[in-house]
Every structure is written in C-alpha cells, then in structure tokens.
Structure 1
Amino acid sequence: MRTLGIPALALLVPLVLLAACGEEDGSSATTDWEATAEVEHRGLAWARGRTIHLGDGATLTSDVPVDRFVVARGGAYVVPRSRDDDPWPELHRVTPDGTEPLGVHPDRWTLTTSSDGRYLAFIDRGARRDQFDTPVAEVVVVDLETGEEVLRSDDDMGDPESDDLADLYEDATPGIDGFVDGALHYTTTGESWRLDLESGETEEVPYDEDAPRLRFDAPREGLVARSPDGRWRIRPGGPRIEGEDQTVVRPRPTADSLGITAKPGAGPGDLYWSLDSWLDDTTAVGTVYVSAGGDEAWVVVTCTVPDGACRAVPGTEGGVVVPVDRDHDYALVPVPLPAG
C-alpha cells in the first residue's frame, strides 16, 4: 500500500465529471458517438506516423500522433502516446473530414471492436479518482450506429472513496474479453460478465481460464486460430500451421526474405514473429516485431498455405502500428473485403 501524497491538481478535477458511477445505460452527455463518415473497417489496417492505411487502400490523416488505434464504423479511433503526466490520453476519431476529440480516456490496450464495426468497447479511465489520484475503471460499450452508449458501468470496479485502486487493479485488472454471438464479454475486479447487445442486459458468467479467448470473432481454441473454411489452423510455439489432413507448414520469415532492414544494434534475438489470424482461407496474417535500443517496430506479414511463403505487406517494411484488437496474441481476425 502507498502513503497519501500531494493532492491532485485542480486541473484534473473536470475529469471527475466525465462519467457517472454505476450508470448502466444511456449516452455520455459530453460525447457525440454517432458515426456518419463512410470508412471501410474491413480488411487489413495499419498506421505509420499520423497516416492510417485502411483495408481498401484509402488513408486517413490524424491530427494527433497514432500510438494505438482501431478501425470501426465512422473512422479510426486513435489514442496518442501516454506520458507520465497523462497516462490515459483522450480518444480521438479520425475521419476523411478531420480529427475530433471524444471526451473519454480509455485504457489503450482495451479498445475492441465488433466484426461488423458497429460496436466499440473499452475501459474508460477518465472518471472519479481515489485519494491517490487513480481513476476508477468503467466499462463502456458504444453503438456507433445509433450514437448511444449501450453500457457505462463501474460496478465491481472498486470504491474510490475507500480503496487504493492502483493496488486493486494490479491484482485484478479489468478488461474487455471480446464480442461474440451478439454479446460483449468483459471482466471486472472480481467477476466475468456478459452484456447482451440487443437488450442491454448484463449477467454474471462463470470464469474459466481454460476457455477459448473471446476477443476473436472467429473459430478459435485457446490461442489456436482456424482458417475461415476450417481446413487450417495456426498453432503457437513455432509457430506452425496444421492442415486437416495432418500436413504441417512451418513458415519461417527472416528479415532478408521480408525485405526488412533491422534497426541498428538488433541481433537475432531481437527479431520475433507470430501468425495470429486469417485474411482468407489460405492466407495467414501476423506481425514481425523488431526491437533494438528501446525502439520497437511492427511489420505486417502474410503467409500462404500450403507453400509457407511469407511476404511483408507493402509499405509496412519500415515498422508500423497495427490495430490494438489484432495486436500480437490479442488478434481480431480481419474481416475480408468483398471479392472484386
């Protein structure tokens, strides 16, 4: 436990008013969520600098640096890099018409979208604060079609009047597990919950640490991702791809084969890669991670079966940011664009 230090700065006080305690539904009074811009949320997306590349080849330009983002109905939802004095930066929506602040301060790692792009979920950290200046966590689910918040709740997220929230969240971190079968699954500090998106009703559900992760709107067994037609599956630990006929494909991309120039000082141990999802029946998608000198870069790759050939997605060779909900082991299977 910590000892109480200097009181919070007066400038932080307005954040307390951004969200009500335990509100179960309704729209945020300060955020216009309705998505009106025509933006393609399907296909592979990535960002470099302030430019976001969408699955249909179009680009969006952000007025704020892109540290983490997702793409959903109406645009790209962007969080800039956090700082010591601003650990939960404001969420912005980037559209062809510009960049607008949305008045919420999400945990950037929890940004999650539904496969149809209609719903956006995250843990908001812009609410009431405890005596140590830690904001209470709120689960927020937004219907971008109607502009309404389906859920905003801090139930079972601790009491800022009596709890040390940082200590509580270190032991039991709230999170978004994902959208599946018309519902959102999420965790609070003590329980797992299911939100029915149509009715807006929540129910407690049993927690099973061995259950398949729900952050994937696709067939998945633990960390095993199946191709859309079910004929292939990505296995961790290699990785390797296994066919239904027991064929094993072991794609092994290297910096040279992908046309990647490793950062100065990067050795073999600094190059990591993983496949995590499928773009279509025969194309697996993943990232190569290069780390050196405290810098990091993600390069998007595709590997085909049964030949195991891997290629860097053009334009990503110099390192890019990929959507949070398909980042490394927490991949949202890209929704393929329509043929043609």
Structure 2
Amino acid sequence: MSQRTNLNRRTVIKATGGGAAALALATSGCSKAGRDELSEDLSDTKIKIAYGNENPYAYFDPELDDVVGTAVSVHNYILKQFGAKEENIEWVDPGWDGLIPGLGNGHDIVIAGMFINEKRCAAAAFADPDYVMPDRLMVPKGNPKNLSDIQSIVAHEDAVIGVMNGTTEQDNAKELGLADERINTQSDLAALILELKAGRCDAIALTAINLQIEADSEPDLEVTDAFYPTTADGEEIIGAGAAVFHADDKDFRDKYNEKIAELLSDTAKWEELVGPFGFTAEDNLPDDGQNAEHFCPENYQ
C-alpha cells in the first residue's frame, strides 16, 4: 500500500474569522459543562448527537421527519449495543463549524461522517473510521476537456476547477499550484453546479458519493471514475469518516472502537447498514490498520 495521508471533507476553520474559530476549536475539549461522561450502559442516558446535514452521511429527511444517512445507520446500530434508546437520543444541527466546538456543551457526540485529521484530533477524541471515501470530478456530459482528477486540471493550463469553500479539494487545488483565477469557489454544491452549467468552471471536485448522487439527477452532467487525490509529493490522500467524542469520553471511545472493529469484520452486516446509501465494501470499507491513530499520529487522544 502506498503512503497515505488523511483528507478532510470540510476543514473546521475557515479562512475568515480563523483566529476566533481556532480558539473555539482548541478549547472545545477543555470543559464538559457539567454533563455526565458516557458509559458502557446508556440505557437511561439522554444523549445529544450533532450531525452535519449532508447527504448521504447524516441529514434530515423531511418525508421521514427524521435524521438518516450512512453515519446515522452505522452509529445507531453501535449505540444500541450500549443500551441507548431511540427516545433518549436528540439530534441537533449546530452547523458544520459548530460540530467539534460544541462537544461537551451543546452535544455529546458528533455523528456526521466527519473525516479524521490532525487538527480535529487535537480538539476531540475520534473513534476509528467506519468508512473511507475517494473523490470524483463532475463534468459536462461527454467530458469535453477529458479531465480525470485534480492533477489533470492542473495540467490542462486553462481548465478551471470548482470547489466548495472550506474543503480540502480547495486546499489541494492551491497546494498543487493552481492560480486563484483557475479556482471557482462557492459556498455549496448547488451553487457550483450552476457555475459548471454556465461554463464558469470545467469540473467540480468533491467526494465521490456526493457528486454521484447529484449527477444521477442531472442529465447534462456526468462524473469521472473515483480517485484518491495526491499531494504535490505524490502521496495518496485517504478520507476516513468516524464518530467524534469529547476528550473526557476517551474510555467510552475505546469501548466504542471495539464495537466498530466487530462491525467492520462482519462485511455483510456493514453493507446491510450502508448499502442503501450507495456504499460498497470494495470502495468504502476501511483497510486493516486504517484506525484513527493512523490518520492523526501526532494528535490522537
């Protein structure tokens, strides 16, 4: 296996207001605001779970009037093994940038399919990943510029990449040397699709599953084969998503990891939970050794 580093689906600290956000992130693990620590017996415990409202990971489905997604499916299954009851779980959406800073204050656990990285590990206790996810490009039907990955956009000279603000697709484009005028940055995927259709960018870079879901409903657009981005040094970047806990709940997180390992060893059960959302063992099941400490060896706690 080639050397790999970790990919954030979204960065926690945005460029604007970075100082204040950094302070909130750095201090979020310092106080549990009087809450009870999580234990192996959750049968009588009321739990607040924060999610990121992002399809297919964890999002509110108005037709079901409930929060659903791959992360919800997997972690509801795990939490029930600790005795957690559905009526004792409250789902809250603090906004993406409030997920980690709110641990111990607004909520007890983050279940959003959040990718593991060193910055986040310094502020919270990550469980081991329950999935990995490559990227794709979304392009106009027929892929007129024959683009395949971010490197192919760099090599094309005049191709413009569309990225969401705060993603590592944005970071990767900059780190690979793309000039600002060749990076079309928008706040969300819907805005990027409008830019692509208008010809103001030539491809959108984002995680594979998000773009596939959108392309399925866009007859004028298609997606490339999935790929893992690479750094300028040729190092493969792997995105791995996991539940996140307050630093005071590391003992519970360790017990939780045992349940995650049992689930990942039962491929049929794992696929039963995530398959309805388009995940497959071939593309999304973590390899042996791809635990949280692997993705943040410096700041794992």
Larger radius of gyration: 1
- Structure having the higher helix fraction is 2
TM-score higher than 0.5: no
Higher relative contact order (CA 8 A, sep 6+): 2
